[in-house]
Copies of this chain bind each other. A is one copy, B any other.
């Protein structure tokens, strides 16, 4: 248990600073937050539905997802998690986890005890506000996903999540030009979109044919961002990013 919390090394601090300026005290407190770092291989659960965790996890690197499973065993991914996310921050207030979180690629995860988070929040109300705000943005993303899954079809639904991923990845510096690493499998996209693997394949083929995306290996390239945005009806307002470099 140590504390590798350097400002530009820790994506959470970076994100908070994009919303408001941290005082030295606040930054210091965040940097000295005790965190247990662990490397977790792909396709492993970090936490499981039903758990009563005593700590939350900060995703330092890699891709993960928040998901739930039907009684019949069908999986639905309700959000993709990228570096800087604290996907189970909610467990600070809600004792029983109502979803699982699993890795998609190998991940570096930092575990922070609820005790430490409580302590931090008690001493720094603005940090409480910042954490609360993060969970509100998560909720906003869930709302958009209900819309996406409920009312958009095929190409449009797919285009929308791709846009969201690009914008969020860009916000944490993981997009160069219009390309990024994207180790998400067609089966995983299916679980995120409420589709079948077969249908995801069909949709991707069509999008490739139309020159909308280049997606192969673990690399996504978007030759025509405006076109993709339009097809996915993508408006980044719901991500509530302060720095709107992303919207471009």
Contacts and interface: CB of A to CB of B under 8 A. Distances in A.
Nearest to A143: B78
B144 A98 contact: yes
Contacts of A128: 128, 132
A247 interface: no
Interface stretch (A26-34, A146-154, A220-228): A146-154
Contacts of A44: none
A32 to B, nearest CB: 22
Given A76-B147, A147-B68, A90 B233 contact: no
A90 to B, nearest CB: 5
Given A145-B146, A147-B68, A151-B70, A96 B237 contact: yes
A248 interface: no
Nearest to A75: B151
Given A76-B151, A128-B128, A146-B76, A238 B98 contact: yes
A66 interface: yes
Interface string A127-158: 01100110111111011111101111000000
A151 B93 contact: no
Interface string A50-78: 10000000000000001010111011101
Contact of A149 (B93, B98, B146): B146
A17 to B, nearest CB: 17
A151 B233 contact: no
Interface residues of A, number: 45
A125 interface: yes
A83 interface: no
A139 B238 CA distance: 14
A39 interface: no
Contacts of A71: 233
A102 interface: no
A139 B90 contact: yes
A71 to B, nearest CB: 4
A38 interface: no
Interface of A: 50, 66, 68, 70-72, 74-76, 78, 90, 93-96, 98-99, 122, 125, 128-129, 132-133, 135-140, 142-147, 149-152, 193-194, 233, 237-238, 240
Give 10 closest A-B pairs by Cβ, nearest first.
Answer: A150-B194, A142-B142, A139-B139, A71-B233, A98-B238, A76-B147, A93-B133, A74-B151, A78-B146, A76-B150
